[in-house]
């Protein structure tokens, strides 16, 4: 079963097969030696396509269901899916039994092809398991850290010589991080160990805690792919990464706060995850080598934690993050979480926390898709406040990155480009 869930559904092979099957069924239904049928088919396709266009417009521009703009390719796949189903609907009229059967089979096939196309465009669910919200990562084996390991006096890249038998790539898997202090119900965290960490005498390495979006999985595949690339260029050196779960199995927007409604999320990340990392990972102990990072919902969490716990987090990477906790539904959160207390809500917003304070030894990276209008505004506002508060700020817009996998992957890359020298992993 796990092997089935690991099937990659966003690659060119799967998409090519899906498109070929869908196109074949479409031609079988559409090609009939009848002018009257051609008119009927075209009308069915056109009407359904218009319904599809209207539906996407309502979802994006009227109801703002996803709170992000949808790319032209998402529009294309959605409208194409509606149009193909429209052909199926009219194929049931005045047709033999076999054609009705083909039409019935084609409906789920056309919907599946459209869903695969949309998923590929978003680029966030690479496997069947991730699309279904099921982790396919196996538990990773950890070696107990050596408390007596020497901490280098200078940058790690100057003091590290990789052994000849060092693996070419790191390892990714999962570990359950107990909620000892917080009691928060979290899914197993993703863990990435770089090549240097897999050697017989590994060096202590920086810590990188990543929080993904909502909905989403604490999946290490994105950060592991990025760090494998950087490690390959830097003698196997990379941070040890934890992809922690800040939204829980119900995938709620917990606001990354300690609340009666969602539990002690803030304490889970900044106490339980941190204590577990100290006890179980071979990491450097100082804040200069610790990074809190996040994507979308997790990006807001990352900058919030960075300004609340500056003694712990020396670096922050905010990838397409929201401006403040619960920004997608401020009225509802004001009512349900803060009992209508606007001052209490405002006190949790990173821009307000930074006012009048200085963070002179914090490195911050803010990235966002250039066409992700709402999140561009948020990134500009929060990064400007971070710069005013004394942080060393890098702001980067991913060209046409949207709020999808392109923005995530490019944001991770830009973050590591900035942080590698800071972390002592490269010149």
How many other CB atoms sit within 10 Å of the CB of residue 101? Answer: 11
| DSSP code at position 196 | G
Task: Point out the least confidently predicted range of 117-121, 178-182, 272-276, 333-337.
Answer: 117-121
pLDDT of residue 394: 98
DSSP-based three-state secondary structure for 139 = strand
**Which tokens sit at 176?**
């359950």
Phi, psi of 365 (to 5 degrees): -125, 125
What are the φ/ψ torsions at residue 363 (nearest 5 degrees)?
A: -100, 125
Write the pLDDT tens digit of every residue in 59-105. Answer: 888 887 776 778 888 999 999 999 999 999 999 998 999 999 999 99
Q: β-strands 392-398, 258-259: how paired?
A: unpaired
pLDDT of residue 1: 58
R_g (Cα) of the chain, nearest Å: 24
Q: Does residue 150 or residue 394 have the better pLDDT?
A: 394
Average pLDDT, the chain: 94
How far from each other are the two terminal CA atoms of the chain, in whole angstroms? Answer: 45
**DSSP structure class, residue 122:** H
Which residues share a beta bridge with 223?
none
- Identify which has the larger pLDDT, 135 or 70: 70
What confidence score (pLDDT) does residue 415 get?
Answer: 98
Work out the percent of the chain whose per-residue pLDDT is above 70. 98
Which percentage of the chain shows pLDDT scores above 90? 83
pLDDT of residue 67: 67
Distance CA 140, CA 382 (A): 36
Report which DSSP code applies to 171: E
The residue length of the chain stands at: 427
d(CA 334, CA 378): 19
Q: What is the dihedral sign for C-alpha 58, 62, 66, 71?
A: positive
What is the pTM for the complete model shown?
0.89
pLDDT tens-digit map of 167-219: 999 999 999 999 999 999 999 999 999 999 999 999 999 999 999 999 899 99
């Amino acid at each position: 079963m796990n092997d089935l869930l690991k099937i990659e559904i966003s690659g060119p092979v799967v998409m090519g097969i899906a498109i070929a099957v869908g196109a074949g069924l479409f031609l079988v239904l559409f090609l009939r030696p009848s002018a009257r049928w051609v008119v009927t088919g075209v009308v069915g396709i056109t009407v359904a396509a218009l319904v599809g266009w209207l539906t996407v417009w309502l979802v994006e521009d009227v109801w703002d269901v996803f709170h992000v703009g949808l790319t032209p390719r998402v529009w294309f796949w959605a409208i194409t899916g509606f149009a193909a189903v429209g052909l199926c609907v009219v194929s049931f009229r005045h047709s033999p039994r076999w054609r009705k059967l083909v039409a019935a089979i084609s409906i789920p096939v056309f919907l599946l092809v459209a869903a695969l196309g949309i998923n590929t465009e978003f680029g966030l669910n690479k496997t069947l398991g991730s699309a279904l919200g099921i982790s396919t990562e196996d538990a990773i084996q950890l070696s107990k850290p050596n408390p007596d390991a020497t901490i280098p006096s200078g940058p790690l890249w100057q003091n590290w010589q990789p052994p000849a038998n060092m693996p070419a790539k790191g390892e990714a898997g999962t570990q359950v991080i107990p909620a000892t202090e917080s009691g928060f119900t979290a899914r197993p965290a993703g863990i990435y160990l770089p090549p240097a960490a897999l050697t017989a005498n590994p060096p202590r390495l920086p810590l990188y805690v990543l929080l993904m979006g909502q909905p989403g999985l604490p999946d290490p595949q994105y950060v592991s792919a990025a760090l494998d690339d950087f490690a390959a260029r830097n003698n196997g050196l990379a941070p040890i990464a934890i992809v922690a779960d800040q939204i829980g199995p119900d995938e709620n927007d917990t606001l990354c706060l300690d609340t009666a409604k969602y539990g002690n999320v803030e304490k889970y990340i900044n106490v339980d995850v941190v204590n577990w990392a100290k006890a179980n990972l071979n990491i450097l102990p100082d804040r200069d080598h610790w990074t809190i990072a996040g994507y979308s919902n997790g990006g807001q969490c990352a900058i919030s934690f960075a300004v609340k716990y500056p003694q712990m987090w020396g670096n922050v990477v905010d990838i397409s993050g929201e401006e403040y906790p619960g920004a997608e539904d401020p009225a509802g959160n004001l009512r349900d979480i803060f009992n209508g207390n606007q001052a209490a809500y405002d006190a949790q917003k990173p821009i307000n926390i930074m006012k009048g304070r200085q963070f002179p030894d914090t490195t911050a990276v803010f990235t966002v898709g250039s066409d992700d209008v709402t999140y561009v505004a948020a990134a500009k506002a929060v990064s400007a406040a971070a710069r005013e508060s004394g942080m060393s700020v890098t702001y980067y817009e991913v060209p046409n990155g949207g709020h999808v996998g392109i923005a995530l992957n490019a944001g991770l890359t830009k973050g590591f480009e900035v942080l590698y020298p800071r972390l002592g992993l490269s010149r």
